A = this chain, B = another copy of it.
Amino acid sequence: MSPEEARRRPPTAQQFVLAELRRAITTGRLRPGAPIRQDALAEELQVSRVPLREALKILEGEGLVTYKAHKGYCVATLSLDDLREVYRIRQLLEEEAVRRAVPRLGDDDLARLEAAQDEVERAAAAGDVSAMATANRVFHMTLFDCAGMPRLARLIRTLWDTTDAYRSMYYGDSGNRERVVKEHRATLDALRRRSADEAVATLDVHRDHAVAELEPLLDVQGR
């Protein structure tokens, strides 16, 4: 292992495994519905099954994997109903976060949001799906964090996680990437004018488009 890697590697194996599992799920290397063989995965990641199982327990709590006693873990699948439910809950929670955040937004916060948006636009132009997903997330979470409600922000993060496995498919389409860029600009504009109502409205549109694009993808998965 290079010094670089060693420095970035988390202080415990379970945290390392947790990060790896998240990546594997969001990048699609572990497909929704796929069973998780502990022995194979542990060997692949060069750890024993103990830290792997603890990491899986966390993901189970977050709903990213499902578990049945004596049967094991599977990558969670989303039904259409699940997708709509997750986005409806996000709508409720994100509206609250935005309304709390807007009056607290400082110039430094706006600068961070603009920096995040720059990165989104760069990734969109380059067609870098993975960077796009990351940057998009940074943009939204930066805003939500400004609400000063850490538990709310955490809940929203968890909800985002549950659809991460499908998000990369969404960004595979260049039309989707461009629309995301435009919608973010509208949100940023509303935030600059300190208009919570408009910011909420632009994000609602943003989400609705995502749902509309994701629904057919889920149908395919559901086979």
Measured CB to CB, the residues of A under 8 A from B are 10-12, 15, 50, 53-54, 57-58, 60-63, 69-70, 82, 85-86, 88-89, 92-93, 96, 149-152, 154-155
How many whole Å from A157's CB to the nearest CB in chain B? 12
- A88 touches which of B15, B53, B96 (Cβ 8 Å): B96
> Given the complex, which residues of B lie within 8 Å of A60, measured CB to CB?
58, 61
Which of B61, B63, B93, B150 sits near A57, CB closer than 8 Å?
Answer: B61
A209 to B197, CA, bound (A): 30
For residue A162, which residue of chain B has the nearest CB?
Answer: B151
Chain B residues within 8 Å of A96, by CB? 88-89, 92
Q: Which residues of B contact A85 (CB under 8 A)?
A: 149-152
Give the 9 A-B CB pairs with smallest separation, nearest first: A61-B61, A57-B57, A12-B69, A54-B57, A85-B151, A92-B92, A11-B69, A85-B149, A58-B61
6 pairs, A vs B, C-beta closer than 8 Å: A10-B69, A11-B70, A61-B62, A82-B151, A92-B92, A93-B93
- CB contact between A152 and one of B15, B53, B89 (< 8 Å): that residue: B89
Find chain B residues with CB under 8 A from A70 CB: 11-12
CA of A218 to CA of B53, assembled, Å: 35
Chain B residues near A15: list those with CB within 8 A. Answer: 69
Chain B proximity of A35: nearest CB distance (Å): 18
Contacts of A154 in B (CB 8 A): 63
Q: Which single residue of chain B is at the shortest CB-CB distance from A60?
A: B58
Q: Tell me, in angstroms, the Cα distance from A53 to B54 when the chains sit together.
A: 8
Shortest Cβ distance from residue A68 to the other chain B in the assembled complex, whole angstroms: 10
Most buried by B among A15, A53, A57, A82: A57
What is the bound-complex CA distance between A15 and B60, given in angstroms?
Answer: 13
Assembly CA distance A87 to B171 (angstroms): 36
Decide if B61 touches A155 in the complex (CB within 8 Å): no
